[in-house]
Structure 1
Amino acid sequence: MALETEKLLDETGWRLLQELQQNARLSYTELGQRIGLSLPSVAERVRKMEEAGIITGYHAEVNLSKLGMPVQAVIQLQGIGGQSCRNAVSQVCELPEVLECSRVTGSDSIIVRVVATSLDHLAKVIDQLSLTGIPATSIIRAKPMKRHVIPPEILERGASEDDFTA
């Protein structure tokens, strides 16, 4: 980690990040009360984390079913037909049903998470994606864990291989 990032991610910085990951709508006053900083100190730390690229955005989490899109699926694309992965990703990302797109290693080239209004709609999305590569689809039945707050312990566990011994 760069020295500036290490300074920003001291114990207080991590506590600030964890609070923001749990609720990005907290006011600077509330954040300060929770982690023991003044409003100006919180504002300065958040600004510096944004400038350093640690915090890259703030998002509203929406209930897709309430919006009329109850079907979600993960689709792996293999054999992207001799085109560059960049071109394939560009084509995939043009579809409004695509929520996330990742380039991956292994037998698949691209993995996407899509949303649809029905199984028929999903079939149309799969047909469109099959123009880019060979699709393998898994419908998401439930999401027991919506989002995970990234704690600093991950870095500590990554530095110590002893944590993963059988």
Structure 2
Amino acid sequence: MDKYDRKILAALSENARIRFAELARRVNLSAPAVADRVEKLERAGVITGYHVAIDPARIGMPIQCMIELTVKHREYGTVLDRVRGMPEVVECVAITGTSALLIRAALPAMPALQDLIGKLMQYGDTKTSIVVDTPVPPRLPPLGPDEA
């Protein structure tokens, strides 16, 4: 991956709907060269998709929380299947430490949070934290230094 690929990734992370002509202008390449590079990044699995970012509060889900769920090893697969089927769960990652899963959920009201916690407690111990702010929103990891 060279400096052009990094510039393309940075621009796409800001606006995944950018047209190739505008992207080409920003990275100082031709539109066909940019299209070719984007296709190669997709084939290599560097670009895994294009997503819309929304504000959950503006669609009626003002309560966001992080729930640590400690799961017994033998039930892990079953719990993952159940968590995947819960629409209020917007993200779930496997973590190290005493908890096995870290779940991010978006909910319309506190009773819905209580219901979700009740469902999850069937599978293990929970620890819930309410999100009050997102001072660092999702972003790209460092892409490395530009090559000369």
**Which of the five TM-score ranges fits, normalised by the shorter chain?**
over 0.9
SS at match of 2:93: strand
Q: CA deviation at 1:101?
A: 0.7
SS at match of 2:81: helix
1:18–1:150: 8 Å Cα contact kept in structure 2? no
Write out aligned runs for 1:1-166 (5 A). Answer: 9-78=1-70, 80-81=71-72, 83-153=74-144
Matched residue type, 1:30: E
Q: Distance in 1 between matches of 2:73 and 2:21?
A: 54
How many correspondences in the alignment? 145
Identity, % of aligned pairs? 34
Unpaired segments of 5 or more residues in structure 2? Answer: none
Could you list the runs of 4 or more consecutive aligned residues of structure 1 that deviate by over 6 angstroms after TM superposition? none
Q: CA deviation at 1:82?
A: 5.1
Q: CA deviation at 1:56?
A: 0.2
Q: Distance in 2 between matches of 1:52 and 1:82?
A: 33
Q: Distance in 1 between matches of 2:7 and 2:72?
A: 46
Matched residue type, 2:125: I
Matched residue type, 1:60: V
TM-score (normalised: structure 1): 0.83
